Chains A and B, each alone.
Chain A
Amino acid sequence: MSDQDRTPENPLRRELPEEVPAAPAGPQAPQAAGREQDRLTGRQRLVKGLWPLRASRAQLIVAVLLFGLGFGLAVQVASNSDSDSALRGARQEDLVRILDELDDRSQRLGDEKQGLEKQQQELENSSDQAEEARRQTVEKERQLGILAGTVAAQGPGITMTIEDTKGTVEADMLLDAIQELRAAGAEAIQVNGVRVVANTYLTDTGKSVSVDGNKINAPYRFKVIGKPQDLEPALNIPGGVVQTLEKEQATVTVERSDKIVVDALRAAKQPDYARSSSP
């Protein structure tokens, strides 16, 4: 116990005297002569130290130290060749600079993103507006198409049938009926499959009547879209259309209906002279 306690206390003092004989005895013991050792060249010493495998204390201590060196070397090389070591080895100033650059870049990209988002919003707005304009145009086209007779129409209204067995009904009577219907708010009218529009004209053709050049025969069947409560009284007023026609021996029937279909069409005609004066 006392020996072991003493050993760590003064290892140097104990080793020193042993060292002198031990050091030559280690690598060069087989030669066993101081003068012979002096004559050895460095190369021979290297070979001697390398090949006869001897577990001398010096060799063991050096081996332990070299083990530590190799271990540290390998660890350092391994950790240095890691992929993320580009920043690890960088100095503080470099890191600060890199961070600043990244901040600048992210700010620039943020600005760019903001601008692009604004642009996108504007484009969406304008496309919304274009869509709205297109919708309104389509709506207007349909409204005008009903007036111009280029599209079919349906809605509540009345059907008026004029039975003319004697052939006494003339164009001016039908025109009176159409005027009366228009005055009562008729929005779409067709007579025996001919659409009545703004420039419709009626002429007498022998015993029958022509509408826009299309000859039509009795019975004259009017399909009218409008408010039935207005249209029917307008025809039936005393001295009105119905009474006038009945005086001429014609039979007039007026029926209200919730669904009248005016499906006679008329081609849109480009005017030859009239031009729109609105810009």
Chain B
Amino acid sequence: MIAVLGLVLGVVAGLLVRPEVPAAVEPYLPIAVVAALDAVFGGLRAMLDGIFDDKVFVVSFLSNVVVAALIVFLGDKLGVGAQLSTGVVVVLGIRIFSNAAAIRRHVFRA
């Protein structure tokens, strides 16, 4: 519950504060958000499976974000930033969908 409250608080804070995104971070923020979403869905699934481990969650969350940003950064340097971002989003999207399917099976038994 506190975790959900944290998410809600984050959204509210982001909408209220509306900070100017630094130009250096701008291309990485959307990919990082998607990667974090993947980690969150994975964590939720693990919790429903009963194998949730906060350490694993923290590490996977942070490493997901860092690796996604790293891939985009590398792609920008190689000149294929747009394609690589698309690839990362596709892969993370597939994972999010499979995790969401598992969660759905747990919650709705279907």
Contacts and interface: CB of A to CB of B under 8 A. Distances in A.
B71 interface: no
Given A68-B36, A70-B10, A27 B52 contact: yes
18 contacts: A19-B55, A42-B49, A43-B106, A46-B47, A51-B1, A53-B2, A57-B54, A59-B2, A65-B6, A65-B36, A65-B58, A69-B33, A70-B8, A70-B12, A71-B14, A76-B29, A76-B30, A78-B18
A50 B1 CA distance: 4
B1 A45 contact: no
A72 B32 contact: yes
B57 A62 contact: yes
Interface of B: 1-15, 18-19, 21, 26, 29-30, 32-33, 36-37, 40, 43, 47-50, 52-55, 57-58, 61, 82, 103, 105-107, 109
A19 to B, nearest CB: 6
Nearest to B15: A74
Nearest to A70: B10
A26 B51 CA distance: 12
Contact of B48 (A16, A46, A59, A76): A46
Nearest to A53: B1
Contact of B40 (A15, A58, A66): A66
A272 B109 CA distance: 117
The dominant DSSP class at the B interface is helix
Nearest to A37: B50
Interface of A: 12, 15-16, 19, 23, 26-27, 37-38, 40-43, 45-46, 49-55, 57-76, 78-80, 91
A78 to B, nearest CB: 5
A65 B82 contact: no
A76 B33 contact: yes
B54 A61 contact: yes
Contact of A78 (B1, B3, B15): B15
B11 to A, nearest CB: 4
Given A41-B106, A42-B107, A70 B14 contact: yes
Contact of A42 (B26, B48, B61): B48
Nearest to A22: B54
Contacts of B53: 19, 23
Residue among B5, B11, B37 with max Cβ neighbours from chain A (10 Å): B11
